[in-house]
Structure 1
C-alpha cells in the first residue's frame, strides 16, 4: 500500500493537481468529482482484485485482458499502459522542475530554469532505476504519514478559518460540477488517482498476491479518496468558493503553502513544501520503476524487442527498461523546454490528463476481461465479483471517458490546437492499434511467442485454497 499511495503522491496531487484543476477547468465542483470517482474505482477494484488471485504478472493490466478477452487485445492494452504510465511519470517532471526552481528562487533571489531542475532529476531517477534503488517500504511509510499529517493539519486550519466566516458546501453541490468543463475536471481528478492500481505490478514480489493485491488496492482507494475530497474542499473553503478559480490561477501550486503560511506560520509552510518536493521524488521513482517493469515484461514476452528484458547481473534491475524510460523523459522534457512551454499548465497538465484518459480506457478493458475470464469459471467467484460490479464499472467508466473526450480541448487552454486536441488522446488509440497489430503478426509468424502473451495462470485450485 505504501508503494501504491506513494505513486499517487497525495501531497503533490493536492498541492499541485487540485489548484491546477480549479484553474484550468474553471469548475468549482472538484471535490464532488473525487467523491464520485472513488466508488467507481471501488467497483473496478472488485473484479480487479478477484482476478489478481489467478494471474500474477509484473505486467499487471495486460495479462488480465489477454486471459479475459484475448491475447491480441491484451497486447493492445499493454501498449496503452506503457504510453499512459510514461506520460504520467514524465508529466511530474514539469511540476518538479517548477517546484524546485521556485524554491531555489526564494533562497537565492535568482531561480534557475525549470527545465534544468527537471533534467537533473531525470538523470538522478534514471541512475537510481539502473541501480535498482527502490524506496524501502518503511521509508515510504514514514514519508506517507508525514504527508498525511501535513495535509490533515492544513485542512483543519482551513476549515477553522473559512473565508467569509462560514464553511461553504457549494463545491459538493451537483450544480457546481455538472456544468461547462465537467469532463476536464474528471480528467484531472482521475489523474490524481493514477497509481492506486499498481499493486498488481508487485504481485510477483509478494508472498501472498492472492490476498495482498486486493487489500492494497482497496486501502489505497479509500485513503486517497478521503484525502482528495476533504483537501480540495478545504482549499475552496479557505479561499472562498466564489474566488477559488481565480486565486488558483494566480497562485498555482503555491496556493496551499500560502494558506498554510497564513494560518500556521512560515516554518510549517516550509516543512510542508519540503515534503511536497520529496513526495514528487518518491512518485517519480515509483512510476519510473513501474514503467521499467512494464518494458521488462513486454520484452520478456516478445511484444517488444527482447533486449528490453535485459536485467543487471549485479542487482537484477530491469536495466534496459530503466534506460529506455529515462531516454523518453529526457527527450520530452527537452522538447517542452526548447518550445518554451509552461511546466505546470502544459507539460504537467497535458501529459497527466492524457495518462488519465489512457488509464480509464485500460480500466474499462480490464472490467470486460473480468467478465470474460469468469464466464468460463462460474464457480470460482460469486456473481458480484464475476459480473455485477465489473458491469457497473464499465458503465460508469465509459461515461467518464465520454465526458473527458468531449471536454479535452478545455485541458489544453489557449495554446491548444486541432492537432493537440485530437493528437494527445489519439496516442491512446494509436498505442492500442500498434499493440494489437504486433500480436497479430506474432500469431502468424511466431505462434509460440503469441501463445505466451499474458503469462501462465495460477492453478485455480491453488488460488481457491489460498483464498480460503
Structure 2
C-alpha cells in the first residue's frame, strides 16, 4: 500500500486506535462492567453453603471406593454368597458385576447433567416426580444409614480380633466391644467434621493400604496351589438356578455405594466429568477385585478344607499358608476398611439429609452448614449418633458381631436396591422431558430396572427365611416412609413441590457476574 494511502487509512475516523476502539470492544467492555440480567438465573444456588467446585477427582474417587469398601467386601461377601449358592460364587459375582455395570451406565446419564448432593433421590424426582422421589430418598437413607452401621460393626469386630492377638482373652469382653463401637463412631464424626477433602483422603489411603494387604495374601495363596487345585473352582458342578439368583442378589450388595460420588456433585471441581468417570471406574475395578478374591477363596478353601462360616475364610487361608502375620495385619486392615466404609457412607448420608432439610421435607435445621468448614454439621450430628446407637443396641441384645453384620447388610441392601430400581426407571422419562431420549439409553435403563427388580424380590424372599427380623424391619421402615409421605402431602405440600433441588448455574458463573 502506498505511503499516502496508508496515512489516509490510519487517519480515517473509523480506524482502530487507543482512543477510538471498535464497537465490538466497547460492547464487550460495557457487558463486563454492567452485565445484563439473564432471565431464569438466580443469584444463589439451593445448595449454597457447601463448598463448591473445590474437590478434585482423586477425592471424588475416594468417596465411591470408600462407600463400596472393596477390602472389607473381599473378605466377607464371598462367605455370604456361598451360603446361598455354594460353588456358584463365581457365577453370582460375575452376574452381579454385569448388572452393576448397567446400573452405573444408567446413573451416569443423570450425573452428566445434574450436580445433585441428593444423588438418586434427586435423579428419581426429576424423572418420576416427588412420590417416586420420596420413595427413592427413603431407600437411600436406609441404604446409606445401615451400611454405615455395617461399617461401624465391622470395624469393631476386626479391631477386637486384632486386639485379641496382641493382648489375649480380655479383649473379647462385652465392654470392649461397646467401647470400640463408640470409638469408631467418634473417629468418623471427627474426620467428617473436618471437611470432605480430609475424609476422602483418609478413606482412600486406608482402602488402598487394606486392599494391598489382601491382594498380597491372595497372591501368596495362589502361588501355593497346584494346577488341579487352581482349576477346581472352574470345573465344579453348576449350582441350581434358584441358588444362582439368590447368590447374585447377595453379590450385588458388595457393589452398593459405588454411585455415592454423585453426592459430591456440588463440591466436585468438575462434576460432569469426575463423577461419571468415578462411577464407571469404581464398578469396573471393584468387580475385577471381587472376582479374583472369590476365585482365590474358592480354590484355597477347597485345597485346605476351609469353610466360609463366620467370614473367617481369608484369615484361615493366611494361617494355612504359613503367613499368619499377614492375617494379623489383615485384621487391622479390615478394621480400617470398615471404618472407611462408615466414613464414606456417612458422607453421602449427611448430604442426602442436608438436601431434604433444604427442601423442607426434613426439619430445616439439618439443612444448615458450618460456616468455617462448610460441612453439613447438623446433619452429621443427627446421623452419626443413630449410626452408633443401633449397633450398640444389637450388642446389648446379645447379638454376635457376625449376626449384626448379616442383619445390617440385608436392611441396607433392600434400601439401596429400591433406590436403584426407581432411579434407573426414571431415566427414560427424564431424558424425554429434556428432549434427549435415545433407544440405547432406554434399553440399558430397562435392563437395569428389570434386573434390579428381580434381584430385590429374590433377595427379600431369600432373606425372609435366613433373616426374618431384617425383612420385618424393612417392612416396618416402608410403612413409616409411606405414612411420612402422606403427612407431607397433607400438611407440607410446598416442601414436596420443592423436591429435586440441585446445584445449578448462578449469576456468579456468568461473564461479569459477582
User: Is the TM-score greater than 0.5?
Assistant: yes
Asked if 2 retains the 8 angstrom alpha-carbon contact of 1:31 and 1:228, the reply is: no
1:17 aligns with 2:72: no
Q: What residue number does 2:411 align with? A: 354
Shift of 1:141: 4.2
Asked if 1 retains the 8 angstrom alpha-carbon contact of 2:263 and 2:348, the reply is: yes
Unpaired runs of 5+ residues, structure 2, are 1-60, 506-514
What is the rounded CA distance, in whole Å, between the counterparts of 1:46 and 1:103 in structure 2?
39
TM-score, length basis structure 1: 0.86
What is the rounded CA distance, in whole Å, between the counterparts of 1:266 and 1:173 in structure 2?
29
1:406 aligns with 2:452: no
Shift of 1:220: 0.4
Q: What residue number does 1:116 align with? A: 179
What is the rounded CA distance, in whole Å, between the counterparts of 1:183 and 1:435 in structure 2?
33
TM-score, length basis structure 2: 0.79
Indicate which of 354, 368, 384 corresponds to 2:440. 384
What is the rounded CA distance, in whole Å, between the counterparts of 1:146 and 1:20 in structure 2?
24
1:302 aligns with 2:348: no
Asked if 2 retains the 8 angstrom alpha-carbon contact of 1:119 and 1:333, the reply is: no
Indicate which of 371, 380, 390 corresponds to 1:332. 390
Shift of 1:8: 0.9
What is the rounded CA distance, in whole Å, between the counterparts of 2:85 and 2:93 in structure 1?
16
**Closer, same or farther: CA 296–332 of 1 in aligned 2, 3 Å:** same
* 1:167-206 pair list within 5 angstroms: 167-170=230-233, 175-176=238-239, 178-180=241-243, 182=244, 184-206=246-268
Indicate which of 195, 220, 228 corresponds to 2:282. 220
Asked if 2 retains the 8 angstrom alpha-carbon contact of 1:296 and 1:310, the reply is: yes
**Closer, same or farther: CA 171–85 of 1 in aligned 2, 3 Å:** farther
**Closer, same or farther: CA 38–14 of 1 in aligned 2, 3 Å:** same
**Closer, same or farther: CA 440–169 of 1 in aligned 2, 3 Å:** farther
Q: What residue number does 1:162 align with? A: 225
Q: Deviations over 1:89-141 (max 9, x none)?
A: 11222222221112111111121432331122123323333343654655544
What is the rounded CA distance, in whole Å, between the counterparts of 2:79 and 2:311 in structure 1?
6
Shift of 1:187: 4.0
What is the rounded CA distance, in whole Å, between the counterparts of 1:408 and 1:226 in structure 2?
26
Q: What residue number does 2:475 align with? A: 426
What is the rounded CA distance, in whole Å, between the counterparts of 1:397 and 1:102 in structure 2?
36
Q: Deviations over 1:394-448 (max 9, x none)?
A: 1211111121122113432xxx4xxx26413314533542453254236xx543x
Secondary structure in structure 2 of the residue aligned to 1:27: helix
* 1:267-306 pair list within 5 angstroms: 267-306=325-364
1:454 aligns with 2:500: yes
What is the rounded CA distance, in whole Å, between the counterparts of 1:242 and 1:160 in structure 2?
14
Q: Deviations over 1:145-190 (max 9, x none)?
A: 433333332222223333895224547868326345x555334322
Shift of 1:381: 5.2
Q: What residue number does 1:36 align with? A: 95
Which deviates the most, 306-315 or 429-438? 429-438
Q: What residue number does 1:132 align with? A: 195
Shift of 1:352: 0.9
What is the rounded CA distance, in whole Å, between the counterparts of 2:391 and 2:305 in structure 1?
33
Asked if 1 retains the 8 angstrom alpha-carbon contact of 2:203 and 2:343, the reply is: no
Q: What residue number does 1:151 align with? A: 214
Which deviates the most, 91-100 or 126-135? 126-135
* 1:254-269 pair list within 5 angstroms: 254-263=312-321, 265-269=323-327
Unpaired runs of 5+ residues, structure 1, are 460-468
Asked if 1 retains the 8 angstrom alpha-carbon contact of 2:100 and 2:255, the reply is: no
Q: What residue number does 2:110 align with? A: 51
Asked if 1 retains the 8 angstrom alpha-carbon contact of 2:157 and 2:335, the reply is: no
1:393 aligns with 2:448: yes
Which deviates the most, 45-54 or 301-310? 45-54
Paired residue total: 441
1:96 aligns with 2:155: yes
**Closer, same or farther: CA 49–79 of 1 in aligned 2, 3 Å:** same
Q: Deviations over 1:247-300 (max 9, x none)?
A: 221xx3332123124336233333333221211121111111221111111111
Asked if 2 retains the 8 angstrom alpha-carbon contact of 1:168 and 1:241, the reply is: no
What is the rounded CA distance, in whole Å, between the counterparts of 1:396 and 1:105 in structure 2?
43
Q: Deviations over 1:343-363 (max 9, x none)?
A: 11x211111121112211111
Larger C-alpha radius of gyration, 1 or 2? Answer: 2
What is the rounded CA distance, in whole Å, between the counterparts of 2:114 and 2:101 in structure 1?
20
**Closer, same or farther: CA 288–337 of 1 in aligned 2, 3 Å:** same
Asked if 1 retains the 8 angstrom alpha-carbon contact of 2:106 and 2:424, the reply is: yes
RMSD over aligned Cα atoms:
2.6
Q: What residue number does 1:463 align with? A: none
**Closer, same or farther: CA 365–315 of 1 in aligned 2, 3 Å:** same
Secondary structure in structure 2 of the residue aligned to 1:166: helix
